[in-house]
Amino acid sequence: MEYVKDILWTPGISLQDTVKALGSVGFQSVELRRAVEVVVRMRKEGAKVFLTFTSNMATSGLRGLFAQLIELGLVHAVVTTVGSVEEDIMKAHGERFLVGSFHSDDVELHEKGMNRVGNLMITNESYARFEDLLLPMLSKLYGRKARWSSVELLRELGLMLKDERSILFQAARKGVPVFCPAITDGAMGFHLYLFQQKHPDFVVDVVQDFKELITWTSHDDKKGLVALGGGVSKHHAILAALLTGGLDYALYLSTARYTSGSMSGATTQEAKSWGKIKDDADAVTINGEASVFFPLIALSALEQLHEEGLL
């Protein structure tokens, strides 16, 4: 047990010291400090770490941080939704998204060909240029073979990119699999469908993906998870962990509430009832928004690991 302490500004205070100080303020600040401790332990214990996130996070400026964590070897598998793939490829080819307002006139935005994600904006032209990019890439891969798992497909797409801030670029070069269980749930799915109409033998095999996912770790591995948001990305990773004995470390970060009974709101504690997280796992749940909390967690953990010569 410890006492509540006031947080104070001091000249030159580091991010790491700020997060440590927040750990004695109370409420979610305590969980923030614990989250950093869990991330650091994952690294020190050599855990194989899943990073899961929803597509809106790749829309935001978190995308480059995800890529950097892969590059630094802190992430060993990614599970995400197809919007992340689309927008990662768009940004890798120079597309830029606007910061707008949560209170925009959405009818007016629609008339202007602007699509709103919270307070971020993506133009229709960006999606049109994405189609122009994707179809030649698919044609090149189809020339090699007709049947692909989405992990294989995304690895090859990543190898075609040149942007070091790209998630797919770093994952492909670091041998980090990117799982996308809902690969048809977006613009890319529509383009895959159109491509298959011209090439009926073209198949993206999601069952093969699942095989790769559940054989990626074993009961003997230390396993960790950083789950940002929820849905299919989060569940895919914890289901794989369930089948290989459960997670040793877990960080859940979500704005969803556990009282909804949803996957997005489910806590690390609830996951123990399924065996997805081990009974004695080092696990923390934060109710917070990823664009604020995750940079604080990741940058503070990186600062500590760098100081200790572990990067």
Q: Which stretches of the chain drop beneath a pLDDT of 70?
A: none
All structural domains of the chain with their residue ranges: 46-97+126-294
Q: Which residue has 């572990």 as its token pair?
A: 310
Distance from C-alpha of 75 to C-alpha of 183, rounded to nearest angstrom: 21
Superfamily grouping for domain 46-97+126-294? Deoxyhypusine synthase (3.40.910.10)
Tell me whether residue 276 is one of the annotated catalytic residues: yes
Q: Which two tokens stand for residue 158?
A: 């990543």
Contacts of 173 (CB under 8 A, 6+ apart): 158, 159
- Widest CA span of the chain, in angstroms? 67
- Per-residue pLDDT, 1: 80
- Per-residue pLDDT, 133: 94
Active-site residue, from 91, 234, 276, 278: 276
